[in-house]
Amino acid sequence: MLGRLVREKPLVYLDSAATALKPRAVIDEVVRFYESVTANVARGVHSASQEATARFEDVRRAAAQFLGAGDDEVIFTSGTTASLNLVAQSYARSVLRPGDEVLVTELEHHSNLVPWQLVAEQTGARIRAIPVTDRGELDLEWLERSRSDRTRIVAVSHVSNVLGTIVPVAEVGALAREIGATLVVDGAQGVPHLPVDVTQLGCDFYAFSGHKLFGPTGIGVLFGRRQLLERMPPWQGGGGMIAQVTVQRSTYAPPPARFEAGTPPIAEVFGLGAAIDMVSGWDRPAARAHEDALVEYAGQRLSAIEGVRLYGSAADRTGLVTFTVDGIHPHDVGTALDAGGVAVRAGHHCAQPLMARLGVPATVRASFAPYNTAVEVDALAEGVLEAKRIFG
């Protein structure tokens, strides 16, 4: 990807928060499944099936270790969205009652908001949002003051996909536990930048997507605390999640199989395993320092351009810069940048409540990964200047 040309310019890929580029090891592992190990898992007695099953479960163990979880606390899904819908429809729908509360935040991606809206309509619960300060940080004083004995679930992002704010999940979790609430974390933007230990975070559920962690699309991981998973009913029915089936009724397998109905995304799990192996071998603090240096440099370059407005100044943030240019719609800025080979995200970033809080319909987002460089930040700044020239 980084060797291709876009409109006769070298590609500058600054959209890793949407989906990260894939290293050769991930691609090779996906191809290896299709070329050498194609078989269903947990079904066959033949050698290919046994080999595929062994690799599938090896990746589950690697994902559990990556999160500091138990092997039987890791469920494979199609992504963060599917994971959060699973929690909403299996766990939340079975525990929420009319008048109960689900607390979300103004930072949330729609994937950590709409599933709660759906389950609130089904159960009679209500949703409230923890406010965001002008710096883009959660108002924890509001949370401490406004939580109640009707607060059953607190759902937060680990890292904002718009502002890069790192949410103090452990503090939120402590406040949730004091009132007996369950903590659900959308980690889609967290795992690419931060080491995660679900025990230290104190969360009950943690979800992330493989494709943002340099892995394939169509694969996600859901951590669920064992005691909760064991009490949860299935979300989807089919092969692989049952213990015994008759025409009239069925009994169900224990977790995680209970929540993995049908043929799973096997090739994608293979690729996810390669991505986890790669990231686990990194010097994570060094990777984070490199990305944070790019974020700081981008902020300096962009803030020096007249008419550019930056959003988010939290004390603890990572991974991206978000901005607008006075008088130019973000989509036009993105189009002008693309003419110079610079790929960014422009729009509401599936976070319309946060856009309303910021008072804008959309922004431009440049997001970073370890493969980005300061030269690419310069290309971003030069592209913004060109957008100003084009649109006057």
| 392 burial via Cβ count (<10 Å: 0-12, 13-18, 19+) | exposed
CATH code of 24-280, in short, is 3.40.640.10
> Is 93's pLDDT higher than 90?
yes
Q: Is 168:112 a contact under the CB 8 Å cutoff?
A: no
Q: At what angle do helices 266-280 and 47-67 cross, to 10 degrees?
A: 40
- As a whole number, mean pLDDT of residues 6-27 equals 96
Task: State the pLDDT at residue 19.
Answer: 98
- As a whole number, mean pLDDT of residues 282-293 equals 97
Q: What is the band of 98 on the pLDDT scale with cuts at 50, 70, 90?
A: very high
> Model confidence over 203-228: pLDDT tens digits?
999 999 999 999 999 999 999 999 99
- The span from the CA of 321 to the CA of 331, in Å, is 16
Pick the CATH number of 5-22+284-391 from 3.90.1150.10, 3.30.1360.40, 3.90.180.10, 3.10.20.90: 3.90.1150.10
Query: Could you say which DSSP state residue 311 is in?
Result: E
Proportion of the chain in helix, strand, coil states, percent, rounded to 5: 45, 20, 40
What share of the chain in percent tops pLDDT 70? Answer: 100
Residue type, 352: Q
Task: State the pLDDT at residue 237.
Answer: 93
User: For the chain, what is the largest distance between any 2 Cα atoms, rounded to a whole number of angstroms?
Assistant: 70
> Is 118's pLDDT higher than 90?
yes
> Is 392's pLDDT higher than 90?
no
Q: Based on C-alpha coordinates, what's the Rg of the chain? A: 22
> Is 137's pLDDT higher than 90?
yes
Other CB atoms within 10 A of residue 249 CB: 7
Q: State the catalytic residues.
A: 350
- The span from the CA of 104 to the CA of 172, in Å, is 11
Residue spans of beta strands (DSSP E) within the chain: 5-6, 9-10, 12-13, 74-77, 101-105, 126-130, 151-157, 182-186, 205-209, 220-224, 242-245, 250-252, 308-311, 320-325, 342-343, 345-347, 363-367
- As a whole number, mean pLDDT of residues 55-83 equals 98
Q: What is the band of 344 on the pLDDT scale with cuts at 50, 70, 90?
A: very high
Round the average pLDDT of the chain to a whole number and report it.
97
- As a whole number, mean pLDDT of residues 347-372 equals 97
Q: Is 110:350 a contact under the CB 8 Å cutoff?
A: yes
> Is 249's pLDDT higher than 90?
yes
Confidence (pTM):
0.96
Q: What is the band of 199 on the pLDDT scale with cuts at 50, 70, 90?
A: very high
Q: With residue 67 as reference, give the H or E element that holds it.
A: helix 47-67
> Is 85's pLDDT higher than 90?
yes
Task: State the pLDDT at residue 43.
Answer: 81
Q: What is the band of 62 on the pLDDT scale with cuts at 50, 70, 90?
A: very high
- Distance from chain centroid for Cα 159: 8
- As a whole number, mean pLDDT of residues 120-137 equals 97
Task: State the pLDDT at residue 169.
Answer: 98
Entry field: residues in the chain: 392
Task: State the pLDDT at residue 44.
Answer: 83
Domain coordinates in residue numbering, the chain? 5-22+284-391, 24-280
The reply to whether 24-280 shares the fold of 5-22+284-391 is: no
Task: State the pLDDT at residue 27.
Answer: 98
- The span from the CA of 98 to the CA of 309, in Å, is 43
Find residue 166's DSSP bridge partners: 159
| Cis before 216 (ω within 30) | no
> Model confidence over 268-279: pLDDT tens digits?
999 999 999 999
